[in-house]
């Protein structure tokens, strides 16, 4: 069980670094919640992108 939480912490920290979010915060959440924190991370990342874009903008993904 502790191994799963440790791996989840490292993975969440890496994902947060790639997304430009707080690494320590998401690593701690990964350590406490484990894989259950992943949907929370995705939601937070999506809201951060929308907040950075502003209102009425369109994002084109390839």
Q: What is the pLDDT of residue 27?
A: 93
Please tell me the distance from the alpha carbon of residue 40 to that of residue 48, in angstroms, as a whole number: 12
* pTM summary value: 0.75
pLDDT at 60: 73
pLDDT of residue 53: 79
Q: Is the pLDDT confidence value at 61 over 80?
A: no
- Residue-wise pLDDT for 24-59, tens only, equals 999 999 999 989 999 999 999 988 888 887 777 776
Rounded CA separation 56/4 (Å): 41
């Amino acid at each position: 069980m502790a191994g799963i939480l440790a791996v989840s912490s490292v993975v969440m920290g890496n994902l947060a670094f790639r997304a430009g979010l707080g690494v320590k915060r998401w690593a701690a959440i990964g350590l406490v919640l484990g894989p259950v924190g992943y949907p929370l991370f995705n939601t937070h990342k999506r809201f951060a992108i929308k907040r950075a874009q502003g209102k009425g903008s369109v994002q084109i993904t390839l």
